Each structure stands twice: as C-alpha cells, then as structure tokens.
Structure 1
Amino acid sequence: MILLLTRSLDPTADMVVRALGEAGTPVVRMDPGDLPRCVEMSGWFERGTWRGRLTTGHREVDLAEVTAVYNRRPNLPQAGVPGMRPEDAEWASNECYEGLYGVLYALDALWLNRPDRNRTASLKPLQLSTAHSSGLCVPTTLITNSPEDAKGFVTEERSVIKTLRGVPRRDADDAPGRPLIVYTWEVPPQEVDGTVALALCQFQRRIVPQYEVRVIAVGAQLFGARIDSPSGREGEVTDWRAYQRTDRISYTPLDVPDGVRDGVRAYLAAFGLLYGAFDFMVDADGQWWFLEANANGQFAFVEYGTGYPIARAVAGLLTQGVRAAGHVMTRPR
C-alpha cells in the first residue's frame, strides 16, 4: 500500500497515481492539511511497533500495510475552528503534525522523501558544500548581509543574486496570497545598496551557459534534460524559468556524464534521499556546474518535454517498498 501525501491540486502526483494504477499498486491519497477536520488517525504502540489506521473521507488505511510513503506537496495540519484563539489553534496544529509524522516515520516503510530530510536538503549553503564534496563543480558564492562585502564581490566579477529559500506570498494588490516568482538575475555593482543589510543575500559568480540541464534522480535512475533558452544571451533574463510556457525554450533528452552521475548519487546518499531535481549549467567548455537541487522538485515538464517515463519510475520505486529502501530506511529493521 502506497500512502501519498499531497494537496488536492497536484498534477505531478496525478501522473504518479495513474502510473501506480497501471501497475496494479494500491494507493491512498490524503492531505495532512485536512487533519483533524476530515482525517482521523488512531495509532497504538505495542511490543515495539505501531499499528492503527488513517481514515479519510473515502478510504481507510491500515498502517501495518503501508510499504511506502510518497511525500509530494502536503499542506500542514490545520486544527483551528471558529472561536479558537490563534495561539491555541497553532498549538493544536503542531500536535497534529507531531503525532502524524511521528507515527509515519516509525513505520517500516520507504519514504520518497522524508520531510525532515527534504528540509535539511533545502539549505542552499549546505547544498553547495555537499555538491562539492560529492565531486560536482560549484560556482564561487557569497552569502552576506554586508553591503560592502556584496559590492566588493560583484565588482570583482560578473555575478547573479538568488533567493535562499522560497519567496513572499503576495497577490497583485500586495495582499498575502500566492507565492511570487523571483528569478535569478545579474546584479551590477551600482545596484548593490543598503537594502542588502535587511536580510542575508546569496550572490554567485555568473556562469554563461551554452545550455542548461535539469536532472531528475529517481533512486538509481537519472533522467537528463537539456534546456535551451535565451537565458545565456546579453539583454535576456538569466533564468530559464522565465521562458517556460513560451516557444523560446525547448527540452531534449541528454545523457548525464559518468562523473556527474556519480556526483548526483553521492549527493543523494549524503542527504538520505531517493529523489531529487538537480539544476546544472554547461558552459562553452562543456563543464557542468551545479546550481542547486530540489529534493521535492517538479518533473512533469521534463516528462512532457522529453518523453521520459519518470512517473512510471517513481511508481516503480514506491512499489518496491522496503525492498528498495537500503540506506534510507526510516528506522532500523
């Protein structure tokens, strides 16, 4: 039994659900954000193991039958009810999170990937040092809230500025809402000012790409997609994501060099992950430069653009369950 944790609107999860159905693998989909309103859980700890059930509006899951958990894009539990004080609602929501994930982590199940490992792997400075120690090439980077150091860095050599994590959630009228999209952009020295002091900022040497690459890693399988866009040209946005859903970008299958392949696998092992979406730039000399990795990154556009059977690969890995877990078991067997 596969337990899929994600929100109701998740096209990538939909692809995996279809692939699991084609393979005849049972799957139950739920959003932890529905706990406790629409999800009920009871877990008993006896003789060293957990047993119990999860009940959604449509299905009941016997926890003993869960062999793998696919952690996609779940919402956080929301325990507030009308009339409850905000601090009490926050406390109750945290209790739901601790109880749910505490029990699920304790199951003898494969995770793709555990949320706590995803969170650690999302730390960009740690990503860079881990990538380097895994044998991948990484651009020189500065993280600072010193305007003086930032100006000195971008004056020495052409550089870009990148977000460290996430983006503000804001609608067009500046009210809280959907996440904004903040692209990587080249920053000239004259644009570095005192606002750098307001938060830690990430500056990185600019790599002018011949092309860019998204590598999707599913267990031992790697799917490389070459990305061609105007991002490396003068006067264009230095982020290929700005050209998505236009006719100025293309995705084609690409073999991943052995050295990069080994580095990606070492990187996953270092974080205890089974899945990752890796971004590289390939310069005019053919050198692959690691930019970042998203432990829960999208793969749908890669599958659609290249024809790679990535959803089937994810479904296959989940179907193998504990037999494929190896070093990423959630607890000793």
Structure 2
Amino acid sequence: MTEPNGGSVLVLTNQLDSTADLVVSRLNDRGVPVFRCDAAEFPQELMLSATLEDGWSGALDNGLRRLDLSNVRAVYYRRPEEFRLPDGMSEAGRQFAAAQSRAGFLGVVASLPCLWINHPARDQQANYKPWQLRIAQGLGLNPPRTIITNDPAAGRNFAAGIDAPIITKSLGAPVDTVIVDPAEFDDSVRLCAHLFQEWMDKAHEVRLTVVGSRFFAVEIHAGSDAARVDWRADYKSLTYKPTAVPGDVRERVNAFMHHFGLTFGAFDFIVTPEGAWRFLEVNPNGQWHWIEQETGVPIARSIAELLEKGRADD
C-alpha cells in the first residue's frame, strides 16, 4: 500500500465519466489519495492559487477538498469539459475569459512534473491521424494505403490504382467508417480534407490497450455486415477473445508510444486472413471500460497501479 505522504493523484475529467470512476475506485482500494475535478468547474467552483517558486506551488480548492500542487504524484487526464463561465457575459468577454482560463489553469496543471496518462500536449499530437499513419508506416506497422485530399480527381485517381474497395473515415470526430464509390466523388470533397483508404480483408480486428509496459489485446469478431465494415456500428453483434501480441508488433508499438511520449494508447488493428497485423489508428485517450467488462482484462487495475507508482515502467 502507499505511504500517506506519497502524494495525490489528480484525476481531471468530467463528473459523469464512468471509466474514470472505475480507476478512482481502484485507487481508493489501494489507499491512494485522489483529487478529482473537471476543468468545467473553473473558475466558478474551483479555485486555483499558484506561485512560481521552485516550480509552481499552491493549491486547487473546490471548497470540500484541497490539492497541494507541489505534492502530485501523477495525473490521469481523461475527458475534461470546457470551462463553465457566468451567464450574461458578452461574447467577447466569454472568449477572453475562456482563453485566460485555458492558459492559466491548464498551463499550471500541464507543468506539473509527474507521471501523466497522458499529458494533453502528447494527446494532441498523437491525435493527428496523418501523423499516426506516417509514424506507423515508418515503424513497419503496415497501415492501409491512404490518401488525404480535398481534390475529388485525386481521390478518383487513387482509387483507380487500388484493386480493392475504398473506405472513408473521419479525421477528427468519431464517425463510422463507410465504403464509398469513387465515381460519386464530386465538388463536396473540396469542402474539407478527406481520408480515403483501401479496404482490407480481415479475419477479425484487435483492440490493443497499452498501459505503460502492459499490453491488453482483445480480438473483436463481427457478427453482422455493418460490424464487418466498422465494429462500432453494431456492438450487439460483437464477440471478444483475449489474444497474444506478436513480438514484432509489440516492439513496434513500444517504439510508436515512445515517439509520441504516450503512457496509454488504444490501438486498432486489422488481422488479415493470413494472420498479418495491420495498423489502423490509435486513440491516445480511447475508451476501454467496455473491453474490461466483456473480457475481464484488468485495465483499470493496471492504470491505478501506474498512477500509484507515479513513474513510467522500468
């Protein structure tokens, strides 16, 4: 168990985050002090006072509990919401206050020299899918052939050179993957960047959740046509099976994590009928609670153990 002076874990997320609830419960079981708050509580419900001395010293205070900023062993950065500002502010005033809050509150918190799962700057970098794909390709994780374009002619030319169906998926907000007909690419493609990829035959897919040096790989088997295109489209049809990670994939995923400075990552792979693992994407702040519920893999416990230790795995 943890010594009383081992420092607190700061959990920064929204109040309805059941995934964070599970980690907080595991930390409580281990006797680790936890201060949970949401960026949305600042500045109306959460007080920040930070003085630059040897680093930032001071506290976060929500009226019920107080966090000593100089005694934080780790931060679990999940899914905080936007700042809640007082009603009646002008739009210009609201924008200014939000910018000040972001720079002040998140700036102080982001400077804490401790273990992060994950640091928001690392999350932001790793969220860029084109960047993910380039690094994955360079490491030999073999992502699908891809084009990112707002030129419909370039999209059609790309598709003509691939003897396979073409899919599109979102570069940002979560939207289901769909198979598209390149003959239908029109001027609407010009309105934003689009990602088009080759469709790959699959035996199944794998969700690989990485927590420090621990790997939790689970096969996802689709039970419907919709789920075979994108398993997120039909959760009820899915079946799951924990699986082993090939040694070469493990080494390359470790290198990927190191490149982006990640402590946690939720990776999606296709496994081809021949058994090859093909990288699709990583969500550095991806969901995992349902995987633990379906299979029993101890992700929450592993996150809690890493936060308790307060340092990256040796």
TM-score > 0.5, shorter chain as reference: yes
Structure 1's consecutive aligned runs of 4 or more residues displaced over 4 angstroms after TM superposition are: none
Q: Which residue of 2 aligns with 1:51?
A: 57
Q: Which residue of 2 aligns with 1:308?
A: 297
Instruction: Give, in angstroms, the shift of residue 156 of structure 1.
Output: 3.1
User: One-letter code of the match for 1:307?
Assistant: G
TM-score w.r.t. length of structure 2: 0.93
Distance (whole Å) between structure 1 residues aligned to residue 253 and residue 47 of structure 2: 39
- Specify the SS of the correspondent of 1:149: helix
- Choose from 162, 170, 191 the match for 2:169: 162
Instruction: Give, in angstroms, the shift of residue 82 of structure 1.
Output: 2.8
Instruction: Give, in angstroms, the shift of residue 88 of structure 1.
Output: 1.2
Distance (whole Å) between structure 1 residues aligned to residue 223 and residue 161 of structure 2: 25
Matches within 5 A, 1:1-333: 1-46=8-53, 48-79=54-85, 81-157=86-162, 158-166=165-173, 182-230=175-223, 238-244=229-235, 246=236, 248-321=237-310, 323-324=311-312
User: One-letter code of the match for 1:242?
Assistant: A
- Specify the SS of the correspondent of 1:83: coil
Distance (whole Å) between structure 2 residues aligned to residue 114 and residue 7 of structure 1: 17
Instruction: Give, in angstroms, the shift of residue 185 of structure 1.
Output: 0.9
User: One-letter code of the match for 1:199?
Assistant: C
For structure 2, list consecutive stretches of 5 or more residues without a partner in the other structure.
1-7
For structure 1, list consecutive stretches of 5 or more residues without a partner in the other structure.
168-181, 327-333
Q: What is the CA deviation profile of residues 104-156 of structure 1, one whole-angstrom value per residue up to 9, with x for unaligned ones?
A: 22222111111111011100000001112223111110000111111222233
Do the aligned partners of residues 107 and 101 (structure 1) sit closer, same or farther apart at CA in structure 2, a change above 3 Å counting? same
Distance (whole Å) between structure 2 residues aligned to residue 259 and residue 127 of structure 1: 18
Distance (whole Å) between structure 2 residues aligned to residue 162 and residue 152 of structure 1: 18
- Specify the SS of the correspondent of 1:69: strand
Q: Is contact 2:147–2:158 with CA below 8 Å preserved after alignment?
A: yes
TM-score w.r.t. length of structure 1: 0.88
User: One-letter code of the match for 1:26?
Assistant: P
Distance (whole Å) between structure 2 residues aligned to residue 57 and residue 164 of structure 1: 40
Do the aligned partners of residues 13 and 131 (structure 1) sit closer, same or farther apart at CA in structure 2, a change above 3 Å counting? same
Report percent identity of matched pairs: 40
